[in-house]
């Protein structure tokens, strides 16, 4: 593998990479996803980013568990499970991401379940508005749309709601309530949101996507057009002058490539298609932040083969987003 780092349009220090390692699983009900950052780091990911891709790493020494933020009592609110814990953790993550992004760094967040994107998107959006006076675009690569509101969710798991909170569709106006910390400068626009690899979308989510005209590419679209054409259409929708936050759920990949994840869905992306998405976004020069979420190394077979392959796939996704190329 070789490095093909593209000059960034929106980063003042593109060789600097802010790392936020999030050991948090409270947005869903399966333990183990909090172990993902440690597994990714122990596999050599950060060493590869530093030694092979040439990044100067910041904030990479600690996996944050946020145990100090756990409330003594966390009853359901608006049908949400663990609302105060997830709110407190995502607010802290927003501050961490903002710390790096406001200094003109690329930000890599290693999760953790996908609820953490409430914080990562908020931190990116606020920093880019302050630094450049621009909105960010979001490319959400996932088997699931994660745009349920608390009221439309069957499970109450907040990892199925982050886009609704990040876009203001599930907003809390009272600052004393969970997620009341989200303000206008934290929010992203549904007009600059693109989904890729959807294949398990709840009926209420389908209505939300239609009602708000959100651009979404399902696996049907990828089968029909090919991943190259889908990426051309996705990036054309965003435009070539908008900072991009890439949020990649490893369950976007078919379980053949990433079996150790909490909500696997057959019929997903190949690893090469996942890598190509990341390579294409990197090539725009507009990428400002990357999330990798939902690797669960505890969901493994007797020989840990599935966990090992999922961690390897996650590392490949990150490296391609940050400039690794085949030639």
Active site amino acids: 114, 142, 144, 146, 159, 249, 251, 294
Q: Show Cβ contacts of residue 250 under 8 Å, excluding neighbours closer than 6 positions.
A: 258, 261, 292, 293, 294, 295, 310, 313, 314, 317
Nearest alpha-carbon partner for 57 in 19, 21, 99: 19
CA distance 167 to 147: 9
What is the spatial distance between Cα 176 and Cα 61, in angstroms, rounded to a whole number? 33
Q: Is there a contact between 70 and 82 (Cβ–Cβ < 8 Å)?
A: no
- Residue 309's CB is within 10 A of a number of other CB atoms, namely 17
Cα angle value 191/197/203 (rounded, 5°): 70
Q: Assign residue 267 a region: left if phi > 0, alpha if psi is -120 to 50, beta otherwise? A: left
Torsion of CA 249, 211, 123, 87, to 10 degrees: -80
Alpha-carbon distances, residue 15 vs 94, 105, 161, 246 (angstroms): 22, 8, 33, 18
Task: Please work out, in degrees rounded to the nearest 5, the angle formed at the alpha carbon of residue 11 by the alpha carbons of 323 and 66.
Answer: 85
CA–CA separation, 211 vs 218, rounded Å?
A: 17
Three-state SS for 253? strand
- Beta strand spans in the chain (E): 2-3, 16-22, 56-58, 63-64, 106-110, 137-141, 193-198, 215-218, 244-249, 287-293, 324-325
């Amino acid at each position: 593998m070789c490095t093909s780092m593209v000059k960034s349009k929106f980063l003042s220090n593109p060789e600097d990479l802010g790392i936020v390692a999030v050991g948090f699983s409270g947005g869903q009900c399966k333990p183990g996803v909090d172990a993902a950052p440690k597994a990714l780091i122990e596999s050599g990911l950060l060493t590869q980013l530093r030694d092979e891709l040439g990044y100067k790493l910041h904030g990479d020494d600690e996996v944050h568990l946020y145990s100090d933020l756990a409330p003594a009592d966390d009853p359901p609110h608006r049908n949400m499970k663990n609302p105060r814990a997830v709110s407190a953790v995502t607010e802290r993550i927003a501050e961490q991401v903002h710390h790096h992004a406001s200094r003109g760094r690329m930000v890599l967040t290693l999760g953790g379940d996908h609820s953490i994107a409430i914080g990562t998107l908020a931190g990116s959006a606020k920093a880019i508005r302050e630094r450049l006076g621009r909105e960010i675009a979001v490319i959400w690569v996932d088997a699931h749309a994660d745009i349920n509101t608390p009221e439309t969710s069957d499970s109450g798991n907040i990892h199925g709601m982050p886009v609704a909170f990040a876009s203001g569709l599930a907003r809390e106006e009272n600052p004393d309530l969970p997620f009341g910390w989200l303000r206008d400068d934290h929010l992203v626009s549904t007009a600059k949101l693109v989904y890729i690899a959807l294949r398990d979308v709840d009926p209420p989510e389908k209505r939300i996507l239609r009602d708000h005209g959100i651009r979404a590419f399902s696996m049907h679209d990828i089968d029909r057009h090919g991943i190259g054409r889908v990426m051309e259409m996705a990036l054309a929708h965003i435009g070539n002058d908008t900072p991009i936050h890439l949020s990649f759920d490893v369950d976007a990949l078919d379980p053949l490539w990433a079996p150790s994840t909490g909500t696997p869905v057959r019929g997903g992306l190949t690893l090469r298609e996942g890598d190509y998405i990341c390579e294409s976004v990197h090539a725009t020069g507009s990428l400002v932040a990357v999330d990798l979420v939902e690797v669960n190394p505890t969901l493994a077979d007797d020989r840990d083969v599935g966990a090992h392959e999922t961690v390897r796939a996650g590392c490949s996704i990150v490296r391609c987003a940050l400039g690794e190329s085949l030639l």
